Amino acid sequence: MTLTEPAIADSEAPPSEDGAAAPESSDEAPEAPSVLAQPFVTSDAATVGRLFVVTSLLLGAGTSVIGVLLSLGRTEAVAPWDLFGGFNAYFRMWTLYRMSFMLLVVMPLLLGVALAVVPSQVGAGNVAFPRAALASFWSWLIGAVIIVVSVFAGGGWGAIDGVTGNESDAMALTLLGTGMVIVALLLGAVTVATTVISLRQTGMSLLDVPPFSWSMLVAAAVWLFTLPVAIANLVVIYADLRGRPAIAFGRAESPDIWLQLDWLVEQPAVYIMAVPVLGIAVEAIGATVGARSSRPEAITVIVGLFGLLAVGGWSQDYFTAPQDLRDGLVYVAFGLAAVLPLVALAGGAAELVLRGTKTPDRLLDVRMLGAGAALKLLGAAALVGALRVIEPLDLLETTATWAVFHGVVAAGLIAGVVALRNWSHELLIGPLSVVVGRGAVALLLGGGGLLVLSDLISGFLADAPDLMALSLDGSAVLNVVAFAGSILVAVGAAAAALGAVSALRTPLTAESEAG
Amino acid sequence: MRTTALPAAEATRPRTVVVGALLATGAVFMAFAALVAVYVQQRQLARATGQEWFPEGSVELGPAGMMMMTLVLSMVTVQWAVQAARDEDRPHGFIALGVTLMFGAAVINQFWFVYQDTAFAIDGGRAELLFYAVTGSFIAMLICGMAMLAVTTIRSLMGPFGRDLAHGVQAAGAYWHMCVLCYFLVWYVIFITK
């Protein structure tokens, strides 16, 4: 090697064709594992990322079906307890729908994209801890299975009508599964964050990191600040559940267990799912129109600010009088301020479009449409969130809470579709079909929009706090609209999942490599 | 002049294992801090409503102070192990590891004594429940720290020496220091301010 040749550290070794770090010499190259064995032994983060993406999309399709049934229960076509076989069963599904979309669908979907894309963006051959990434996937999957099985076995996060001893054991299992899933997501987040911090190409400062990698670094930091607080909640709940009849906090016979965890799916913590969406949207728009932001540092600050406003461990109100926290200045300020970075980012996205090539085929590209749709839904969610914290509007304990949730979830799913299209090479799949991509984006945008709208208006119409929307809403039409929105989301999620699965079977083409 | 024989400069960047361990350590600290926050908040609530938190004299400060002293000493021995791994000094590394593990075991033993001494029942009420939740979580964290330290130090000292393996011991050392910080919270919040 001469001094004029660049020094290449191990971590910067150029990736081989399958994305893994190149072996030291061809003589030492290990025998490639079989297709069946690969998911269990791979040290290639792109493969792990693909596993996360496909599995979470399939779970997303399943979760959205639960959403359809729950929405059907809101209409007057059938009583919810008849639909699920009892009020407790309805409550179990209601809570599973929310926890699942957050911990089993959107967060792992975006984490999977990050595991595949971030190493190549920062110039590393692989993630910092490939085995930890694989452990993250399998512990997440096992935790997800435990959650789903235990909820269907009568567990879940509390009950309303009273439970048997067996159901109490199933609840303990649900808590275990939840803890496993959270730890797994944290492990993946540590892996991604360490890759960005430690394995960046020499000379690349943190401000030079591409927007998606930066957004994942911010998201990982926010997850590391927020999700451990939920683990602390789980410890207290478990000790309480097993320590009965202390009945210190929650009781298995009440929704108190859920009330100790619901802050996770409410603002501001609900935005922790959405931080990577910003990075995906900026990169997808830039790649589509072939332009770069004139102020990349502004994008960096905006994403960082949104991440800061998503830190939510402090916002749980179970252990305090609710009005103390939610009427407080900090909670209101967080709710109102969350709109600002999204408005600023929309401005940044508009600047990209203005600077880039504006041909019809580019403007109608799946990535462009999807990025725009995700930002619109996220903006709508943040706007509802801002309205929700304005005390005179009285929206806090109403379905407006779920308008924010649905907007963020739909934006996350759309961002996943955009990522599949934008980084098919890194995800090692064929290109997502244009028809499927456009269809999924349109369905998710339409469904998410309808859910946000119906939940917000229902919140305005509610006479009293009613988070489950069972004694709503003053208008049966809104419940029908919510039902239609749920169906659209379910079809959109199913289309995205099927599109990803079929893309797995499609070989990489020049088009996908160029993409 | 030929320069081809000179090696390329080594890339300077943060150490991967240490950075990853610090991030994970921060997450564990957040979880523990959240538990302590619930404890403090509930105690404050009980006091505000005139309720007794722990019965008078049930929680003794002596054993807790001994644990604090033991853990402070363990911080020194952990750094001793880190330095030994860095210096590839096998005898000192094993002695430091052994002493640190002994300190850890002593703290667990002392906690067992505290549990026997207080004789709290987990279903006795909020105070007892949170007492066990906080201290039990700390013991679990300490056991994880002991396991991490043992594995990384033994790997460093028994296997081929090298900078990367010393980083593992450094990472375990950082986690250990965080555990001691967490015990400081336990000591102050549970045992001193009772």
Q: Do B31 and A228 touch (CB under 8 A)?
A: yes
Residue whose C-alpha is closest to residue A306's, from A395, A209, A381: A381
Residue A7 in contact with partner chain B when CB distance is under 8 A: yes
Residue A206 in contact with partner chain B when CB distance is under 8 A: no
Q: Which CATH number fits domain A42-514: 1.20.210.10, 3.20.20.140, 1.10.760.10, 1.20.120.530?
A: 1.20.210.10
B-chain residues near A248 (CB < 8 A) = 125-126, 129-130
CA distances for B39 relative to A38, A193, A239, B126, B135, angstroms: 46, 31, 13, 9, 11
The H or E element containing residue B126 is helix B126-158
What domains can be seen in chain B, in order of their start residue? 16-48+61-192 (1.20.120.80)
Q: Where are the domains of chain A?
A: 42-514
CB A112 within 8 Å of CB A58: no
A35-80 pLDDT, tens per residue? 777 888 788 888 999 999 999 999 999 999 999 999 888 777 777 7
A106-119 pLDDT, tens per residue? 999 999 999 999 99
Percent of chain A with pLDDT over 70: 85
* Mean pLDDT of the region A406-426: 93
Instruction: Please tell me the distance from the alpha carbon of residue A402 to that of residue A485, in angstroms, as a whole number.
Output: 13
Instruction: Please tell me the distance from the alpha carbon of residue A384 to that of residue A379, in angstroms, as a whole number.
Output: 9
A105 pLDDT band, cuts 50/70/90, is very high
Q: Do B133 and A199 touch (CB under 8 A)?
A: no
A16 pLDDT band, cuts 50/70/90, is very low
Instruction: Please tell me the distance from the alpha carbon of residue A489 to that of residue A313, in angstroms, as a whole number.
Output: 29
Instruction: Please tell me the distance from the alpha carbon of residue A239 to that of residue A179, in angstroms, as a whole number.
Output: 14
Q: Do B136 and A239 touch (CB under 8 A)?
A: yes
Mutate to test the interface with B, among A197, A216, A256 (most CBs of B within 10 A): A197
What pLDDT is recorded for position A34?
Answer: 74
Q: Could you count the other beta carbons within 10 Å of the beta carbon of residue A51? A: 23
What is the ipTM metric for this complex?
Answer: 0.88
Closest-approach residue (CA) in chain A for B35? A232
CB A21 within 8 Å of CB A126: yes
* pLDDT for A13 beyond 50: no
Q: Number of residue pairs across A and B with CB atoms under 8 Å?
A: 120
Q: Do B23 and A194 touch (CB under 8 A)?
A: yes
* Mean pLDDT of the region A190-207: 92
Least confident among A63-77, A159-173, A420-434, B51-65: A159-173
Find residues 351-410 of chain A whose CB sits inside 8 Å of chain B. Answer: none
Residue B28: which of A9, A129, A228 has the nearest Cβ?
A228
A406 pLDDT band, cuts 50/70/90, is very high
Closest-approach residue (CA) in chain B for A229? B31
CB B180 within 8 Å of CB B67: no
A-chain residues near B162 (CB < 8 A) = none
CA distances for A484 relative to A67, A71, A76, A407, A488, angstroms: 11, 8, 14, 15, 6
Residues whose CB is less than 8 angstroms from the CB of residue B76 and which lie 6 or more positions away in sequence, other chains included: none
SS3 assignment, position B45: helix
Residue A135 in contact with partner chain B when CB distance is under 8 A: no
A7 pLDDT band, cuts 50/70/90, is very low
Mean pLDDT (chain A) is 85
Instruction: Please tell me the distance from the alpha carbon of residue A53 to that of residue A40, in angstroms, as a whole number.
Output: 16
* Mean pLDDT of the region A238-261: 69
B-chain residues near A2 (CB < 8 A) = 3-4
* pLDDT for B119 beyond 70: yes
* Mean pLDDT of the region A341-348: 95
Residue B19 in contact with partner chain A when CB distance is under 8 A: yes
Least confident among A218-232, A351-365, A408-422: A351-365
CA distances for A19 relative to A127, A267, A367, B68, angstroms: 11, 37, 23, 49
Question: What is the total residue count of chain A?
Answer: 515
